[in-house]
Amino acid sequence: MDHNYLSEEEFQVVSETLQRNLSTTITLYLKFKKYHWDIRGRFFRDLHLAYDEFIDEFFESIDEQAERLVALGGSPASAPSDLERYSVIKVPTETVRDARTQVADLVQDLTRISKAYRDDSKTVDDHNDPATSDMYNGYAATIDKIRWMLQAVMDDDRMN
């Protein structure tokens, strides 16, 4: 199979990171939407709107990651079982209405995702794919910005 300029071994490593990050980003989208629908209380309006704004910040990366995988000769995994298998985060099955609980959970996930993008950026760069490395660095910066904004909400004394 043609993997553009990557050897089979390089492709296996790069495609694994793309599958994991694609699944994680789709799961992050679903988690933000769930919290968007679940939120109640004093911070309802602010977080209800902010969650959609944050989704807009990273939504395009879903298609970009999938298309990058296809361009390299792969096939994006996107079935629910694939998301469960590859994603490094989970969507809670229970209803979470409390703003502080939601935001703390999202900050923790975003920290993990940002680190994964940075680690994977180095990994794919070491495997002859600077384009995917650059893409991951851009996504990490976006995730860092969203994390910073949510952390600022948690730092609000009214959140306690």
pLDDT at 156: 82
Q: Is residue 26 part of a domain?
A: yes
Domain of 153, in residue numbers = 8-159
Q: At 135, which CATH number? A: 1.20.1260.10
pLDDT at 157: 82
Residue 92, Ramachandran bin (φ over 0: left; ψ between -120 and 50: alpha; else beta)? beta
Q: Is residue 54 part of a domain?
A: yes
Q: Is residue 133 part of a domain?
A: yes
Domains of the chain: total = 1
- Rounded distance between C-alpha atoms, residue 27 and residue 34, angstroms: 10
Q: Is residue 2 part of a domain?
A: no
Asked if 110 contacts 147 with a C-beta cutoff of 8 angstroms, the reply is: yes
Q: Is residue 77 part of a domain?
A: yes
- Rounded distance between C-alpha atoms, residue 61 and residue 73, angstroms: 18
Q: Is residue 3 part of a domain?
A: no
For the chain, where are the alpha helices, taking DSSP H only? Answer: 8-38, 44-71, 80-86, 99-126, 130-154
Model confidence pLDDT, tens digit, residues 56-106: 999 999 999 999 999 999 999 889 999 999 999 999 999 999 999 999 999
- Rounded distance between C-alpha atoms, residue 28 and residue 21, angstroms: 10
Q: Is residue 17 part of a domain?
A: yes
Reading the block at residue 12, the tokens are 């296996």
pLDDT at 98: 95
pLDDT at 2: 79
Q: Is residue 21 part of a domain?
A: yes
